[in-house]
Amino acid sequence: MMESSPFNPRRAFLLLGRLFLGGLLIYSGYTKLFVPGMKPHPPVGVALALFATQIDSFQLLPPWAVTRLAHTLPFVEIALGILLVIGWRLRIWSSLASVLLLGFLGVVIRSYALGLQINCGCFGPGEALTIKTVLRDAALAAVSLLLTVFAFLEARASHPWSRKVEG
């Protein structure tokens, strides 16, 4: 008879957390490529050029870097999201997701503090950067950090099925 694994809150968080963050990153990349808020969807080239204008409004990078980032970030988000959902090498990909989300949080805090009247560009066009954006990005970065910490702790812990039976 098969023995089920005992409920472990940390393991449950790892499962839900990676599915949540992975799904979120996939959706985020998807919105930048296909702009689901627009009907009909614009061609990918137009969507990426529009995303570039959103990055540019943050006034952080030179134009050439803005263009490169706009053409790279959506694909990075989707790839990272898929890897998190799969759960393979979780320590590596959750660490990378944490770096990415902390980067987003830093940029959003800076723009909010400077009072820039811009769109966030987080999930496609049309979302103003407000305190709600800052709080949401902070919550997502916290989930990602917790996921990373748990992934490292879990890798050091012994699996419940591998425990030696006494006697």
Partner 1 sequence: MLRQHIVAGMVLLGLTSAVTVLAGGGLSQAKVAATDVDPHKAFGSKSAPITMEVFSDFQCPACRTLYKGVWPQLFENYVNTGKVYLIHRDFPLPMHAHSRNAARYADAAARIGKFEQAEQVLFEKQDSWAASGDVDGTLARVLTAAEMAKVRALVKGGALDAEINRDVALGQGRRVSQTPTCIISRNGQTYPVVGPQSYEVFHQFLDQLLSQK
Report the Cα 37 to chain-centroid distance in Å: 20
Q: How many CA atoms lie within 13 A of 124 on its CB side?
A: 17
Interface with partner 1 by CB under 8 A: which range of 22-30, 91-99, 102-110, 151-159? 22-30
The secondary element (H helix, E strand) that includes residue 153 is helix 131-156
Q: Can residue 85 be called a binding residue for partner 1 (CB under 8 A)?
A: yes
Q: Can residue 145 be called a binding residue for partner 1 (CB under 8 A)?
A: no
- Least spacing, CB of residue 28 vs partner 1, in Å: 8
- Least spacing, CB of residue 104 vs partner 1, in Å: 14
- Least spacing, CB of residue 162 vs partner 1, in Å: 18
- Least spacing, CB of residue 130 vs partner 1, in Å: 9
Q: Can residue 20 be called a binding residue for partner 1 (CB under 8 A)?
A: yes
- Which residues, other chains included, contact 19 with Cβ-Cβ below 8 Å and sequence gap of 6+? 84, 85
DSSP state of 123: T
Q: Can residue 112 be called a binding residue for partner 1 (CB under 8 A)?
A: no
Query: Contact letters (x/-) for partner 1, 33-72, by CB under 8 A?
Result: ---xxxxx-xx-xx--xx-xxxxxxxx---xx-xx-----
Structure tokens that stand for 115 in this block: 């009072």
The CA R_g of the chain, rounded to the nearest whole Å, is: 19
CA geometry: angle at 65 spanning 63 and 69, to 5°?
120
Q: Can residue 122 be called a binding residue for partner 1 (CB under 8 A)?
A: yes
100 closest CA partner among 27, 25, 33 = 25
> Interface with partner 1 by CB under 8 A: which residues?
15-16, 19-20, 23-24, 27-28, 31, 36-40, 42-43, 45-46, 49-50, 52-59, 63-64, 66-67, 85, 116-119, 122-128, 136
